[in-house]
Amino acid sequence: MSEPYPRPDPMGADDARFWSYVAEGELRIERCADCATYRHPPRPVCAACGSDVVDWVAVSGRGEVWARTVIHPPTLPAFAARTPYAAVVVRLVEGVFMVGNVVDRDPGDVVVGMPVEVCITEVEPGFRLPLFRAADAGERRQPEDPSSSRRETPRRVTRDATTRDA
């Protein structure tokens, strides 16, 4: 029998909110309310414009494997009985990256470029994780252009240390 999965230890309110959505079976990602840039992992300030105003948006969960590795023993005790498994970095169509594992393929069958979709999975009673499964390329819709969902708002102009007044 496997040891219990390690539980997320949110480092702040943004992390806690992400995990509360996952617990409800939803994949929501922060999107800046001012410039509409998606950001993950959650953080308090937008790297694109500096805004601290955020919307939590339900996202498609579709993406593709950008990197992969196969985990073999020795590993942490909580994962030893689950090995081997494919750990992946997935780029969602919204442009953010997530780390997880692919649950419906043999680890050797997981390849870079493979289309995947999130499946919020109850891995233990009362505990859900965002994992991935292969998406049938024939059924997969074209990735959405993240900029198409952006609201038309003025961009803030910020000065950095190299900007000089004329």
Does 66 lie in the same domain as 54?
no
The boundaries of the domain holding residue 65 are 60-137
Determine contact, residues 12/41, Cβ cutoff 8 Å.
no
Does 65 lie in the same domain as 49?
no
What is the side-by-side order of every strand in the sheet holding 38-39? 38-39, 28-32, 54-58
List, for residues 13-43, the tens digit of each pLDDT value: 888 999 999 999 999 999 999 999 999 999 9
> Which range, of 24-28, 137-141, 147-151, averages the lowest pLDDT?
147-151
Write the DSSP symbol of residue 8: P
List, for residues 61-120, the tens digit of each pLDDT value: 999 999 999 999 888 888 888 899 999 999 999 999 999 999 999 999 999 999 999 999
Entry pTM: 0.77
Is 119 within the bounds of a domain? Answer: yes
Does 72 lie in the same domain as 35?
no
Does 129 lie in the same domain as 66?
yes
Does 114 lie in the same domain as 71?
yes
Is 48 within the bounds of a domain? Answer: yes
Does 94 lie in the same domain as 109?
yes
Does 101 lie in the same domain as 55?
no
Does 127 lie in the same domain as 90?
yes
Does 69 lie in the same domain as 55?
no
Q: Which of 18, 42, 59 is the last residue of a domain?
A: 59
Does 65 lie in the same domain as 45?
no
Is 1 within the bounds of a domain? Answer: no
Is 148 within the bounds of a domain? Answer: no
Is 124 within the bounds of a domain? Answer: yes
Is 160 within the bounds of a domain? Answer: no
Does 95 lie in the same domain as 52?
no
Determine contact, residues 132/115, Cβ cutoff 8 Å.
no
Q: How far apart are CA 39 and CA 33, in angstroms?
A: 11
Q: Which of 44, 59, 74 is the last residue of a domain?
A: 59
Instruction: Give buried/exposed letters for 1-34 (b at 16+ CB in 10 A, else e).
Output: eeeeeeeeeeeeebeebbbebbeeeebbbbbbeb
- Secondary element (H or E) of residue 25: none
